């Protein structure tokens, strides 16, 4: 077989392998040559248990920024702590402080410290105070789909391994 015949056969073979391919998997070409993708397609699978919510009256920001995520986690942790206090409490105080957010993959890892105290009536009608004098360290992971929480995390703990509290999706 001569060289020209070989090159011609290879070109024909390569061209036939592409026959019928009019687009790519990453998106489609618009008339101006730019690529667009379908924003409804999710490349990241949602975890088991989605969708789920704790039902707190705390709205997750549409566009996550460091500051908005810190405010969201502060409000969310206050609601979480209040929800987990005893129902027989006469009064309760919750103080969530020192929010610190850092970018973590598609979302943010946010550390907060929570202190709380609860006032209750004991069986003999005396008032008893229970509290957390030193605070509890809590690590959250928040992205556009998930909210996860880890209490008293170990150093360098992966925030994405926390307990699933909120999940939007299918």
What is the mean pLDDT for each group of 10 consecutive residues in the chain (170 residues)? 46 44 39 40 64 90 94 95 75 86 95 84 66 79 94 87 86
**pLDDT in the model for residue 101:** 96
Q: How far is CA 159 from the centre of its chain?
A: 9
**pLDDT in the model for residue 126:** 62
Residues 44, 46: Cα–Cα separation, whole Å: 6
First to last CA, the chain: 58
**pLDDT in the model for residue 138:** 93
**pLDDT in the model for residue 170:** 58
Eight-state DSSP code of residue 41: -
**pLDDT in the model for residue 28:** 40
Q: What is the pTM of this model?
A: 0.66
**pLDDT in the model for residue 132:** 62
Residues 26, 141: Cα–Cα separation, whole Å: 28
């Amino acid at each position: 077989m001569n060289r020209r015949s070989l090159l011609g056969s290879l070109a024909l073979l390569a061209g036939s392998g592409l026959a019928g391919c009019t687009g790519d998997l990453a998106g489609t070409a618009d008339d101006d040559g730019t690529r667009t993708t379908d924003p409804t397609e999710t490349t990241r699978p949602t975890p088991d248990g989605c969708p789920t919510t704790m039902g707190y009256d705390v709205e997750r920001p549409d566009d996550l920024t460091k500051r908005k995520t810190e405010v969201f986690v502060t409000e969310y942790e206050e609601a979480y702590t209040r929800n987990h206090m005893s129902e027989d409490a006469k009064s309760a105080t919750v103080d969530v402080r020192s929010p610190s957010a850092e970018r973590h993959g598609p979302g943010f890892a946010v550390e907060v410290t929570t202190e709380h105290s609860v006032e209750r009536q004991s069986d003999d009608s005396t008032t008893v105070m229970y509290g957390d004098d030193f605070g509890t360290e809590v690590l959250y992971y928040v992205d556009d789909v998930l909210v996860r929480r880890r209490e008293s995390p170990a150093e360098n703990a992966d925030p994405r391994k926390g307990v699933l509290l909120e999940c939007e999706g299918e």
